[in-house]
Copies of this chain bind each other. A is one copy, B any other.
Amino acid sequence: VTSESSFIALMRSLATDPAARNLLDDAAVIDLGNETLILTHDMLAEGVHWLPLADPADVAWKLVSVNLSDLAAKGARPLGVLLGFMLGDSDWDRHFAEGLKRVIEHYGAPLLGGDTVSNRGDKRALGLTAIGAATHKPVPSRAGARAGDVLYVTGTLGDALAGFELVEAGLEPPDMLSADRMASASKACFEIDITAIPLSAAYRAYRGDSRDSRLQAASWGDDYQLLFTAPEGAPLPVPAMAVGRVVEGAGLALFDGAERLPLPPTLGYQHG
């Protein structure tokens, strides 16, 4: 048991309000008047979620994307964001602010507030809270998949892995985590055909489309695509590609066409 998982277990024991969804989803869902709010807070830490030499504008983009993808997964339109910023080198801070301006304008998620603290030489950690309004109800949940549903992904996977490796080699690529969490919450088994996993042309050129390449693209994460299920034949709310189906059972089952594959040792990147 890591200190992180034991702390999260403590937090889960406090998070008894139904809006917290037992911390099993990545966002809280609050019914208020005739609206439903979606709230999420994600942090990024230097050296864990970004490399020291990363462009600060890219860090801003990632910080906002991580949070807005949680809203998107709930079908919410963003109302705005609050920034928790650790000050440091003023050039870094200014480039971060420029990146922040671009990303919040791109996604139409206005900056509403936040706070700053000085970091006095420590590695930086940044936090962002995103708030959104549900566009339809019920709000999608990780526990909503049903046997017979088709599993979809909204875009190509692997570019984040390739980008990372081009900057720094030597880390094990270890997100089929998302699919595993949905399967677990839905008490169902997700069968994924790795030959159906969409790869960008750039990723194919970088690593090819071998079984290993596809498994790695699917297990790295950080691509900020949505994974969702829908009944077979149902009209889709967004363009997406089928990558598998939901069956009775538990966990993930991977296939390369007809061939059943062993599960990789880890299903997603676990931060050290």
Contacts and interface: CB of A to CB of B under 8 A. Distances in A.
Number of this chain's copies in the assembly equals 2
A43 B34 CA distance: 31
Given A37-B32, A80-B17, A117 B45 contact: yes
Nearest to A109: B17
Among A4, A17, A82, max chain B CB count under 10 A is at A82
B125 A79 contact: no
B117 A20 contact: no
Contacts of A229: none
A250 B45 CA distance: 43
A84 B47 contact: no
Interface of A: 3-4, 6-8, 10-11, 14-17, 19-20, 23, 26-28, 30, 32-35, 37, 39-45, 47-49, 79-80, 82-87, 90, 93-94, 97, 100-101, 104, 110-120, 122-123, 125, 127, 129, 131, 133, 271-272
Given A11-B83, A15-B110, A35-B35, 18 more contacts: A4-B118, A7-B85, A11-B111, A14-B97, A14-B101, A14-B111, A17-B111, A20-B113, A39-B80, A39-B82, A41-B115, A41-B127, A43-B117, A44-B117, A84-B84, A86-B125, A115-B127, A127-B127
